[in-house]
Amino acid sequence: MADQRILFTKSGTAQYISHLDLMHTMERAFLRAGITIRHTAGFHPHPYVSIPLPLPLGFSSDCEIMEFGLVDGATMETLPQQMTDALPAGIKVLQCYEGGQAFKKLSYVRYDITLEFDAPMAPQAAEAFLALLKRESFVVRKRSKKAKSGFTEVDVIPLVEAVEEVRADGTFLYLTLLLKAQNPGLNPDVLLQGFKAEHPEFPVVYSHCHRREILDDRKKTYR
């Protein structure tokens, strides 16, 4: 039997739970809900839970996925409510279903991005932002734990699949972007870092990223 998955949202205070802490939280929530899950084989068996695309700290999401294996008893119909009741505020389990589609098929993420400026300059900032994305190449320096210098360079252009919506409203700029999910994928924060470095004349006082949807290689909803 294949493993099961849940689809869940992460918002509000739960945005500040890191990926690692979320894994612990999930393991404990299964125990609190009295749901037994499969353990890994090996010398130090531990409960198997896997999240294909970790959500960066501070992001919210409507479409997080986690895989695990149900061992006897638990039914998929009641699991979402049982788990939601056992989880911290801001995490809601929407659905439990049989997994199967390979993680590597998860190809695109639709992000809603909010930028706030310290003056009503969003329309001009929007133009500057779009101009950046029209370039042949736009190389951004990003932090990297692997690189010796602590930084690597990445060209973001090939990783931005589409700009789907742009709305400027006074001090706020709202963008909906379709970004590559993995191998390699693009964290929208890297894009924002690039924008800020390139256009210091538009001072960003606040930014927020929200995952609206995850898509497979044919741009159909990924589950």
Partner 1 sequence: MDHKLEKILARVQKPGRYVGGEYKAVQKDKAEVDCRFAFCFPDTYEIGMSNLGMRILYGVMNKMPGVWCERVFAPWGDMEDEMRKEGLPLYALESGDPIKDFDIIGFSLGYEMAYTNVLNMLDLADLPLRSADRPGITPLVVAGGTSTYNPEPLAPFVDVVCLGEGEDALPELTNLYRKAKRENWTKDQLLREASRLSGIYVPSLYEVTYGEDGIISAITPKDGAPEKVTKRLVTDMDRSYYPVETIVPSTEITHDRVMLELFRGCIRGCRFCQAGFVYRPVRNRSQELLVQQGIDACKASGYQEMTLLSLSSSDYPDLLPLCDGLLDYCRPNNVSISLPSLRADNFSMELMEKLQAGGRKSGLTFAPEAGSQRLRDAINKNVTEEDLLNTCRTAFAGGWSSVKLYFMLGLPTETDEDVLGIADLATKVYHVWRNNTPNRSRGVRITVSTSCFVPKSHTPFQWEAQNTMEEYMRKVTLLRDNMRNKSITYNWHDPDTSFLEACLSRGDRRLADVIETAWKNGAKFDSWSEYFNFQTWMDAFQTNGLDPAFYANRERGKEEILPWKVISDGVKDSYLWKERKAAYQGVITPDCWEKCSGCGANKLCEGGVCHG
The residues binding partner 1 (CB under 8 A) are: 12-14, 16-18, 21-22, 24-25, 27-32, 34, 57-58, 86-90, 205-208
Contact 177, 160 (CB under 8 A): yes
Phi and psi (nearest 5°) for 185?
-115, 175
Cβ closest to partner 1, residue 4 vs residue 207:
207
Cβ closest to partner 1, residue 57 vs residue 119:
57
N-term to C-term CA, the chain = 17
In which element (H, E) is residue 123 found? helix 122-134
Q: How far apart are CA 56 and CA 40, in angstroms?
A: 26
Shortest reach from residue 56's CB to partner 1, in Å: 11
Shortest reach from residue 66's CB to partner 1, in Å: 15
Rg for the chain, CA atoms, rounded: 19
Cβ closest to partner 1, residue 131 vs residue 205:
205
Shortest reach from residue 25's CB to partner 1, in Å: 5
Estimate the crossing angle of helix 188-198 against helix 122-134, to 10 degrees. Answer: 110
Helix (H, G, I), strand (E, B) or coil at 60: strand
Shortest reach from residue 44's CB to partner 1, in Å: 10
Cβ closest to partner 1, residue 21 vs residue 98:
21
